[in-house]
Structure 1
Amino acid sequence: MKVIRWLDKHLEETFLVIMLVLIACVSMLQVIVRKIPGMSSLTWAEEFCRFMWIWSVFISLPYTIRMENMLRVGVLKDLLPDFLKKIINLAVDVITAASMAYLGYYSIEVYNNIARSREISPAMQWSMAFVYAFMVIGFFLGTIRGIQMIVIHIRDFHKKELSTIEQTMQDAAKEASMAQEGDD
């Protein structure tokens, strides 16, 4: 159960951190190698970093859904009664899950077309099907996270909905508490 709970909280976050570290390391290595006289630059570094950035976009989709960090206008929602806020949350969750499923369905078609073409990337010689697989993974995980948020919002329907300011204060208190525990 601990593993499932950890995956729920950190799966996408872990991949995003790894990708960011890889981008930073490879970019720095490319800069260092360019400055060494007589050594040619890394021909694959730019393409590798581009793939990492693209993958991070698709992996960040389910992360933002789960963390409820999607762009929205919270002030308008704060003006509504609690019951209506909960209905809007559920409507957003249903639209999000349906959108991710729709995009996921068609991303499989795009992936299959790329796989049939047997195209490879110019610098790294990777199969473009492998590169495009992260699009399918991102939308699939986004669909799962959207459904998960529907379940969470239905389960917590009886709980009081926090305003944007209250949620911000609660998040800041959690971060301060975690920072305090880290200092000890």
Structure 2
Amino acid sequence: MAPNKKEEGEFVKALVKISDKLDSTLRCISAALMVGFFVVMLVQVILRNLFPAHTLSWADGACRYLFIWATFLGAPLATKRRSQITISFIVDRFHGKAHKVIEGIMSILTTVILVLLLLWGINGVRVTIPQTADAMNFSAAWIYAAIPVGIALLIFQTVICAVEDLFSQEAPVFEKEDIE
């Protein structure tokens, strides 16, 4: 038996609630990573200028890795808010059901591409397990793990947005004026 409209609505609300919790968690983690990036870089600049003999050999790598993780954890935040850069001149020409169908097709294509990137990222982690990060004593796989983790979160948020758009009457619709 097919689910009724009420069950679909409750399912979408539950997914959106999970998505909102994930969004809140990712915002905190991304902010902490960026603060860490800023603090490490600030300390390194101060040491480099005031105490050149006592610089941190690992600071540049740590900043680079913190930034990579913040970027991959921040991308799902933009997807949740539907603020990723898009080329929408074709989609904007359609309205009603045609618009919804085209957006659905775009969500499916995006998800397929993200799944391929996820598989590539997982392979990248496997390949880098024996390597160590420059000037740091841990596996480079921890750095490369940002790719599959971030892509998996992107897939989740993309699917949630697509489901929300498809089933919810309250799905957010952003107009050009909202973005500019």
**TM bucket normalised to smaller:** 0.7 to 0.9
Return the alpha-carbon distance in structure 2 between the equivalents of residues 122 and 5 of structure 1: 35
Superposition pairs of residues 63-74 of structure 1, within 5 angstroms: 63-74=77-88
Equivalent residue number for residue 97 of structure 2: 83
Contact 1:61 / 1:142 at 8 angstroms: preserved in 2? yes
Cα distance change of structure 1 residues 40 and 95 upon mapping to structure 2, 3 Å threshold: same
Distance 1:149-1:6 versus aligned 2 partners, 3 A rule: closer
Counterpart Cα distance in 2 of 1:37 and 1:114 = 35
Task: Choose from 28, 37, 43 the match for 1:14.
Answer: 28
Give unmatched runs, 5+ long, in structure 1.
Answer: 170-184
TM-score in terms of structure 2 length: 0.78
Aligned residues: 165
- Equivalence for 1:103: 117
Specify the SS of the correspondent of 1:68.
Answer: coil
1:174 maps to which residue?
Answer: none
Amino acid at match of 1:136: P
Once residues 160 and 34 of structure 1 are traced to their aligned partners in structure 2, the CA distance between those partners, rounded to angstroms, is 48
Deviation at 1:147, TM superposition (A): 1.4
Report if aligned partners of 1:114, 1:129 keep a CA contact under 8 Å in 2.
Answer: yes
- What is the alpha-carbon distance in structure 1 between the residues aligned to residue 51 and residue 126 of structure 2? 44
TM-score (norm 1): 0.77
| 1:44 Cα offset (Å) | 0.6
Alignment partners' CA distance in 2, 1:137 and 1:53? 15
- Identity within the alignment, %: 19
Q: Structure 2, unaligned stretches of length 5 or more? A: 1-13
C-alpha distance 143-161 of structure 1, shift in aligned 2 (>3 A): closer
